Structure formats: structure tokens, C-alpha cells
Amino acid sequence: MHTVYQLALSTTMIIGVFLSGVWSLRVATAAPYYVATDGNDADHGTEERPFQTIDKGLSVLGHGDTLYLREGIYYSIVVNVYHSFSSGTSWANPVTIAGYPGEAVTLLGGIALYIPDDTLQYVIFDNFTMDGAGIFVGGAGAQYIRFQNSEVKNSPRSGIGGGAGASHIEFVNLRVHDNGGDRLSHGFYVAMQYTLIDGCDIYNNGGYGIQIYDSACTTNDCADNTTIRNSQIHDNRGDGGVTLSYGSNIVFEHNFVYNHLNGVEVSYGNPNNTQIIGNTVYNNWGGINISPSSREAIVQDNHLSGNAGAITDYGVGTILRDNRIE
């Protein structure tokens, strides 16, 4: 019995060591791949022998891998249920598609993700200029996607769009400007649960800077738990700077909103518990406008100056507290 026990224990230890080695190997083999305009898809995707097309680069990605695009002009990144790639497993182990550090990488067709069935999650898009088209995210399978350190400009429609069930989508440190040729084309036109817009500069778009709204949304929970913070929304050409609609617990905090017809509006879809906190809103015709469909909004610690109208409240149960008006 003693011998059998020792043998079983030794076998277990060997298996454990083996599995540990396999796991270490998997983590260690998270790899960088490269694409260049003068590359070749028949090569290996190394820095010295890069692929030529984004599609080829996407096809080899595994958990934790990074695909770098070298300097140049490329066409769009389009991902859907028929043409996808491996997801990351967490924000600590994402898949990353990035412009090579210090190099100018332009996507003429923007980035379009529509994942209705398969799940695409923990993916980071970093360091791109999207010129002539923007970003669209849709489908319930698109979750935990981050766009960062990029520019979106000159789209004939909205610069960034999202809805149709996508959730946990993040937009961090983006410049979104000069998109849309009319008042119905916005910087952001999104209605997704758990959206984050953080540290963005949003200006000179045809419609609103940010419209949390979706004409296809038929319920009042499409934009639940959206957060917009630390951003500048200014000089947009449509009816206003920001509209917050179709969701509960939308947080709008520590932003600067200026030079619009209307600054911040809480409007359609019976929004509930909208929190407008710590913002600077100035040089708009209307500062902060709360519509009759709003429920239990909190407007607190904002600084309003130079607006023709500071705060207009027609909502139900609105809390107005410690706002400074000049």
C-alpha cells in the first residue's frame, strides 16, 4: 500500500508539473505579429517578415497576442460572426490590435464589429487614425471591447456608433471630430449597456457631440450604466452637446461642455437616476435641461456660466444640489 501511495503521489506531482509547464508555455507564447504595407501574407508575420493584410494578421491571433500595424494607410477592419478571431481572456490578457508605437497608422474604412452570436471580448484597439469612416459596434456577442489613443474624423455619418445588444464597450482618450454632414450625424451615437467614454475630446461634429440614444431602441434600458467622464464636448454644430437617454444610472461627471445650442439634456426613453455631477457647462444657449420624461435625476456640484439659461427642470423627482451659476 505504501508503494502504491508513493507511486500515485509521484504520478500526481508529475502531472501537476506537466500541466504547470503547459500553462506557463501558453502564457509565454503570447506573441506579437506584424503587418506592413510592403509585407507578404506568405511570410511569418514577424517584425522582419510581416504580413501584408490585416485579415491575415487577425487570422493568426490567439489569447494575449498583439497585432501591430506598421506606418501607412490601410482599409477597414471588419469583424463579424463569419470573420472573427480569438478573444482575450481578461483585461490582463487581452488581444490587442495596434498601430506600431510612434508611427502613423490610418484606417480609411474605420473599424466595424458586429458579433450577433459568437462572443468577442477583451480586445483592445489602440493608436489608429480613422479617416473618412468611424467605429461601429453591434451584436450581443461584442463585449469588453476597448478603443483607445485614437482619432476618428471625417466620417460622412456619426463618428462612433453602437447598439444592438453590445455591452461593456470602452472609448478612452479619443479625438472625435468633423464627422457628419448634418444635425443627425453625431460624434457618438450609441446606446449600449455599460458604455464608458473617458478622457475624450469631441468637437465640430455635424449633430450632437454625444447622443446616448438609438432610434432602433424600443425599451428604456438600452444605455443602462453608461458613464461619460473627464471629457471635453465643444463646438458641435447640431442641436446640442450631449443627450442622455434610454437608460438608468447614466453618469455624466467631470466634463467640460461649451459652445452649443444646448449643453446637456436628459431626454427620451424615460431615463432614471441620471447623475450629472461636477461638470463645467458654459457658453451654451441652454445649460442643463431635464425633460418631463426624466425620473429621479441628480444634478450636483456643477459650474454653469455664460449660458442664456442655466438649469431647466421639468423632470420628476429631480435633485438639484450645490450647483454654482454665474
105 and 203 assigned to the same domain? yes
pLDDT greater than 80 at residue 149? yes
How far, in Å, CA of 29 to CA of 59, rounded?
Answer: 16
Q: Tell whether pTM > 0.75.
A: yes
User: What is the number of domains present in the chain?
Assistant: 2
266 and 297 assigned to the same domain? yes
More confident residue, 115 or 82: 115
Query: What distance lies between CA 266 and its chain's CA centroid?
Result: 21
193 and 213 assigned to the same domain? yes
141 and 44 assigned to the same domain? yes
| Model pLDDT, residue 309 | 95
| Model pLDDT, residue 143 | 96
For the segment 95-128, what is each residue's pLDDT rounded down to a tens digit?
999 999 999 999 999 999 999 988 899 999 999 9
pLDDT greater than 90 at residue 21? no
Convert 13-44 to b/e letters by CB count within 10 Å (16 or more is b): eeeeeeeeeeeeeeeeebeebbbbeebeeeee
1 and 38 assigned to the same domain? no
pLDDT greater than 70 at residue 261? yes
| Model pLDDT, residue 142 | 95
108 and 222 assigned to the same domain? yes
Query: Is the Cβ–Cβ distance between 130 and 157 less than 8 Å?
Result: no
45 and 176 assigned to the same domain? yes
| Model pLDDT, residue 29 | 64
Average pLDDT rounded to a whole number, residues 122-150: 97
How far, in Å, CA of 276 to CA of 252, rounded?
Answer: 5
| Model pLDDT, residue 24 | 40
Query: Is the Cβ–Cβ distance between 257 and 241 less than 8 Å?
Result: yes
Average pLDDT rounded to a whole number, residues 132-150: 96
| Model pLDDT, residue 94 | 97
Structural domain range at position 183: 32-325
On average, the pLDDT of the chain sits at 91
19 and 53 assigned to the same domain? no
186 and 79 assigned to the same domain? yes
| Residue 257 φ then ψ, to 5° | -130, 120
19 and 49 assigned to the same domain? no
70 and 126 assigned to the same domain? yes
CATH at 76: 2.160.20.10
225 and 183 assigned to the same domain? yes
